[in-house]
Amino acid sequence: MIGGPDLSGIIGVFSKNNKEVSKYIYYGLYALQHRGQASAGISINNNGFIDYEKNLGLVGDVFTKEVMERLKGDIAIGQVRYASYSEKNTKSNSEPLVVGYRKGALSICMDGAIENYETLREKFEESGHIFQTDLSVEVIASLIAKYHKDSLTYAIKMALDEVNGSYSLIIMTKDSLIAARDPHGIRPLSIGKVGDDFIISSETCAIECIGGEFIRDCDPGEIVIIDDNGIRSEKLQSKKRALCIFELVYLARPDSYIDNRYVYTSRFNTGEILYTEYPTKADVVIGAPDSGTVAAIGYAKKSQIPYTEGIIKNRYIGRTFIEPTQDIREEGVRIKLNPLTSNIKGKDLILVDDSIVRGTTIKRTVEMLRKAGAKSVHVRIASPPVKHSCFLGVDTPNEENLIANYMTVEEIRKAINADSLYFISLEGLVKAAGGENGFCKGCFTGDYPVKRSKSS
Ligand code: SF4
Enumerate domains of the chain plus CATH numbers: 8-239 (3.60.20.10), 266-314+321-435 (3.40.50.2020)
- HSE-CB of 197 using CA atoms within 13 angstroms: 25
Q: What are the helix (H) ranges across 44-176?
A: 59-62, 65-70, 117-126, 136-147, 152-161
Q: What is the mean pLDDT of the chain?
A: 91
C-beta 442 within 6 A of ligand 1: yes
Could you tell me the distance, in angstroms and rounded to a whole number, from the CA of residue 356 to the centre of ligand 1?
14
How confident is the model over 129-148, as a mean pLDDT? 92
Provide the sign of the torsion angle of the four alpha carbons 79, 225, 194, 196, taken in this order. positive
40 close to 54: Cβ distance less than 8 angstroms: yes
C-beta 368 within 6 A of ligand 1: no
Residue 422 backbone zone (phi > 0: left; psi -120 to 50: alpha; other: beta): beta
pLDDT greater than 70 at residue 453 = yes
Q: What is the pLDDT of residue 333?
A: 58
List the single range of 92-106, 190-204, 416-430, 431-445 with lowest mean pLDDT: 92-106
pLDDT greater than 90 at residue 241 = yes
Residue 430 exposed, middle or buried by CB count within 10 Å (0-12, 13-18, 19+): middle
C-beta 394 within 6 A of ligand 1: yes
Q: Is cis: bond before 111, omega within 30 of 0?
A: no
- State CA 50 to chain mean position distance: 27
- Residue 18 confidence class, pLDDT cut points 50, 70, 90: confident
Residue 340 exposed, middle or buried by CB count within 10 Å (0-12, 13-18, 19+): middle
Task: Point out the ligand 1 atom lying closest to the alpha carbon of residue 246.
Answer: 8
C-beta 184 within 6 A of ligand 1: no
Mutate to test the pocket of ligand 1, among 243, 439, 443, 447 (most ligand atoms within 8 A of CB): 443
Q: Can you give the pTM of this predicted structure?
A: 0.93
Mutate to test the pocket of ligand 1, among 244, 247, 388 (most ligand atoms within 8 A of CB): 244
pLDDT in tens, 324-333: 566 665 555 5
Could you tell me the distance, in angstroms and rounded to a whole number, from the CA of residue 247 to the centre of ligand 1?
8
Which candidate, 142, 25, 49, places its Cα nearest to that of 104? 49
Q: Whose C-alpha lies nearest to ligand 1, atom 2?
A: 443
Mutate to test the pocket of ligand 1, among 394, 405, 426 (most ligand atoms within 8 A of CB): 394
C-beta 186 within 6 A of ligand 1: yes
How confident is the model over 360-375, as a mean pLDDT? 94
pLDDT greater than 70 at residue 86 = no
Whole-angstrom distance, CA of residue 7 vs CA of residue 187: 9
C-beta 113 within 6 A of ligand 1: no
C-beta 390 within 6 A of ligand 1: yes
Q: What is the pLDDT of residue 323?
A: 54
How confident is the model over 285-298, as a mean pLDDT? 95
Could you give the percent of the chain with pLDDT greater than 70?
93
Q: Whose C-alpha lies nearest to ligand 1, atom 5?
A: 244
Q: Count the neighbouring beta carbons within 10 Å of the beta carbon of residue 235.
A: 12
pLDDT in tens, 400-428: 999 999 999 999 999 999 999 999 999 99
Radius of gyration of the chain (CA): 23
Contacts by residues 62-69 (CB-CB < 8 Å, ≥ 24 positions apart): 63/26, 68/22, 68/23, 68/26
How confident is the model over 7-27, as a mean pLDDT? 94
Whole-angstrom distance, CA of residue 160 vs CA of residue 221: 10
Q: What is the pLDDT of residue 454?
A: 58
Q: What is the pLDDT of residue 87?
A: 47
Whole-angstrom distance, CA of residue 215 vs CA of residue 192: 5
How confident is the model over 385-406, as a mean pLDDT? 92
Q: What is the pLDDT of residue 436?
A: 80
- Residue 1 confidence class, pLDDT cut points 50, 70, 90: very low
pLDDT in tens, 302-355: 999 999 999 998 877 655 555 556 666 555 556 778 999 999 999 999 999 999
Could you tell me the distance, in angstroms and rounded to a whole number, from the CA of residue 388 to the centre of ligand 1?
9
pLDDT greater than 60 at residue 187 = yes
pLDDT greater than 90 at residue 82 = no
How confident is the model over 63-74, as a mean pLDDT? 95
